[in-house]
Amino acid sequence: MNPSDIEKQAAAVAAAELVESGMKLGLGTGSTVAFLLQALADRAIDVECVSTSPQTEKIARELGLNVSSFAGLDGVAHLDMAIDGADQVDPAGWIIKGGGAAHTREKCVAAAADRFIVIVSSEKLVPALSAPLPLELLDYGLAATLRALGTVSLRDVPRSPDGGVIADWLGSLDDPASLAARLSATPGVIDHGLFSPDMTERVVVAEGTTTRHIMINA
Ligand code: 5RP
């Protein structure tokens, strides 16, 4: 394994230790989460999981994890905990997610959870956030949405499982709160990959095989 994967695995194993039997658990998406899924399977505890992507759901089921629906009125409505990776974490606890284009679902799952735990390798800790910032856009009115946003580029990837168009904001991230408010207020933006500090309980970061818990909202 390369040094980054060793750290991703260490952070994932440390976060899996926070999971207790009987919990309803949200599962993020990405390579760090893949290590989490294995760590949860290794612990063989009884948890009810919801997934943020078809990829995570497939791996989780193959590992024997119990995956429930998070869709529609028959889906799970409340989660005890959600665990997910991230692309960037700044010193104030602002987080960029969506490198894997799953940020809209990931934010829904994080918001439904009492405790949102972020797991990262050390290179994800940055002094300041920078572009690209993932976006999910409605196809209807897409040209007008892109014009309103200005500094944005479409990503050459399939649509999200919910039909959204994936794009990236390429402008300044100097003021994440203002940008988040602006993007949320732009018609046609389904969601963006900025997660505010008040969403996250802690960031579990690995430096080598040593893990550290950065408490954001204890
Ligand atoms: C997917 C995400 C991922 O959590 C993020 O991109 C980090 O991915 P990885 O764990 O593969 O480095 O937000 O939408």
CA 118 to chain centre: 8
Q: Is the CB of 121 under 6 A from ligand 1?
A: no
Mind listing the pLDDT tens digit for each residue in 193-205?
999 999 999 999 9
Q: What's the 103 CA to ligand 1 centre distance in angstroms?
A: 9
Element (H, E) at 10: helix 3-16
Distance CA 168, CA 154 (A): 6
Measured CA to CA in angstroms, residue 196 lies from 84, 167, 177, 178, 216 at distances of: 14, 20, 8, 11, 10
Q: State yes or no: pLDDT of 217 exceeds 90.
A: yes
| pTM more than 0.95 | yes
Residue 67 binned pLDDT confidence (cut-offs 50, 70, 90): very high
Domains and CATH numbers, the chain: 3-122+195-215 (3.40.50.1360), 133-192 (3.30.70.260)
SS (H, E, C) 108-132: HHHHHEEEEEEEEEHHHECCCCCCC
Supply the residue whose CA is at minimum distance from atom 8 of ligand 1.
30
Q: State yes or no: pLDDT of 218 exceeds 90.
A: no
For residue 33, which atom of ligand 1 is closest to its CA? Answer: 10
